[in-house]
Amino acid sequence: MAIWETLDAEFAALDAAGLRRRRRTISERHGAEVVVDDRRAVNFCANDYLGLADHPALVDAAIAGAQRWGMGAGASHLVSGHFSAHDAAERKLANFVGCDAALLFSTGYMVNSGIAAALVGRGDAVFADRLNHASLVDGALLSRAELRRYPHGDVAALEQMLAESTAPRKLILTDSVFSMDGDIAPLPALFELAERFDAWLVVDDAHGFGVLGPQGRGALQHYGIRSPRVLYIGTLGKAAGVYGAFVAGDTQVVAWLMQKARTYIFTTGAPPLVAETICAAVDLIEAGDERRAQVAQLIARLSSQLRHPERLMASTTPIQPVLVGDNEAALTLAARLLEEGLWVPAIRPPTVPAGTARLRISLSAAHTTAQVDALAAAINRHLAV
């Protein structure tokens, strides 16, 4: 049997377990409403928490950026792909999240897969929450440091691991808002441990930037944490409604990352028009208290309307997972909702642990109360079947 022919059996196994992934195609977008696979539906899949992805100010900024700079950056940042627009975006982002400096990356995955190796290596140790995003796991593995994963949110277990470690350099790695559960990491306690054991603390605030903290300034501002040992990662393709990501922190530490993060050094810079759009997005986030209040109201509304509140996992963020359990049952429920014009993703292993398949509802300021009520009513009907 040729090597590619073995894939037939692998695909059959995925199908049998209800684990095969498939893409859907959006052909129109109007706020929270989309046309997906030729069906009109309300989108409860996107991480566009503030409803900014199609905001006219961002569209105008992108057009103006394209007219000024053209499209591609043409090279890596350290060769000839760094423009004044990138500088302006980095300064604006750093100031917004309360840090000294920031470094733009093309994607959040690139930040997360490159940052650990810039700070630790062989003989060192990374301590990571068990439910961290895959990109953080990959980054820890690429660092070649010892990877120790503590039970989700278990500060006592992490403390014991740190106390037992003889590694010369230690790094604590965590999401702020966990992408499939929606809960928030115990950041003050993690920071205290980092201080006590002289460790780096790297916080991936992909789902908190724009949502948490005063004016959406993120998880560190939410808890009042600032230290040269703390690095903050923000994603710009979620609440900001744009594209890319950044890492922010102490000036010297960020300068070191520019020297050592391979995923920054060896890739073409993001288009400068994106940097122009990022600046406009930060202004919208800062002025977005009404949008954040709308999201908070929708979170409370969903919880109050669901007939099976025990299925709704504990989350105060726009990520509202409804636990189903069985893979096929989650797929069936998602399909039934889509038939009613409600698009919610069914999340299955390996993204989540076996036996915890779920609907992952993402709420946005672009949603209306009527749309959330319709979703809750449909879930109530179909979960009762």
Q: Are the CB atoms for 69 and 271 separated by under 8 Å?
A: yes
Residue 77 among the catalytic residues: no
Residue 84 among the catalytic residues: no
Q: Are the CB atoms for 208 and 218 separated by under 8 Å?
A: yes
Question: Residue 332, annotated ligand binder?
Answer: no
Q: Tokens 């700070």 label which residue?
A: 119
Burial-class residue 198 by CB neighbours within 10 Å (0-12, 13-18, 19+): exposed
Burial-class residue 350 by CB neighbours within 10 Å (0-12, 13-18, 19+): exposed
Beta-bridge mates of residue 323: 358
Peptide bond into 272 cis (omega under 30): no
Q: Which of 170, 207, 222, 367 is catalytic?
A: 207
Q: Are the CB atoms for 77 and 288 separated by under 8 Å?
A: no
Question: Residue 207, annotated ligand binder?
Answer: yes
Question: Residue 208, annotated ligand binder?
Answer: no
Rounded CA separation 315/182 (Å): 5
Question: Residue 109, annotated ligand binder?
Answer: yes
**Residue 262: other Cβ atoms inside 10 A:** 13
Question: Residue 368, annotated ligand binder?
Answer: no
Q: Which helix (H) or strand (E) holds 195?
A: helix 187-196
Q: Which of 55, 86, 238, 367 is catalytic?
A: 238
**Strand arrangement of the beta sheet that strand 346-347 belongs to:** 319-325, 357-362, 346-347
Burial-class residue 287 by CB neighbours within 10 Å (0-12, 13-18, 19+): exposed
Q: Taking phi first (over 0 means left), then psi (-120 to 50 degrees means alpha), and beta for anything else, what does residue 22 get?
A: beta
Question: Residue 30, annotated ligand binder?
Answer: no
- Secondary structure letter of residue 326 according to DSSP: S
- Residues with Cβ within 8 Å of 301's Cβ and at least 6 positions away in sequence, in order, are 369, 372, 373, 376
Residue 176 among the catalytic residues: no
- Secondary structure letter of residue 270 according to DSSP: P
Question: Residue 235, annotated ligand binder?
Answer: yes
Count Cα atoms within 13 angstroms, Cβ side, for 234: 35
Q: Which of 106, 179, 315, 362 is catalytic?
A: 179
Catalytic residues: 179, 207, 238
- Binding residues, by number, are 21, 108-109, 133, 179, 207, 235, 351
- Binding residues for substrate, by number, are 21, 133, 351
